[in-house]
Amino acid sequence: MDIADWRKKIDDLDRRLVQLLNERAQCAHEIGKLKRNSSMPIYEPNREKIIYENIARNNPGPLSDRQLRQVYERLIDVMRQIQRDEMAPEAGNEKEPTELEAND
């Protein structure tokens, strides 16, 4: 394969990754709803430990376990934010008044 073929393959993989990441985000969103309704915390270190163990166990390379963990650390941060947004949607509506509004 030449560089164009490799890039075409990367583009295809990126499309598939986007689909999978959005599916994962939808799962995180639904978990956020369940956590909100049961007052569970967003941050669950034991669950994250399990995720990191799973990715290391299923990692054939060429990414090292450390590199893959770095990717997942960021991914989990984003998923946690999705859950925060789900658990506190009303908080976004209760904004502080601006200077102009406060002076009225």
The model's pLDDT over 38-54, given as tens digits with 9 standing for 90+, comes to: 989 999 999 999 999 99
Q: Tokens standing for 90?
A: 């009303």
Residue 27 binned pLDDT confidence (cut-offs 50, 70, 90): very high
What are 39's two structure tokens?
């007052």
For the chain, what is the total number of helices (H) and then of strands (E)?
A: 4, 0
- 24: pLDDT strictly greater than 60: yes
Q: What is the pTM of this model?
A: 0.76
Do residues 44 and 28 make contact, with C-beta atoms less than 8 angstroms apart?
A: no
Spatial separation of the C-alpha atoms in residues 47 and 40, rounded to whole Å: 13
Q: What angle do CA 8, 1, 3 make, to 5 degrees?
A: 55
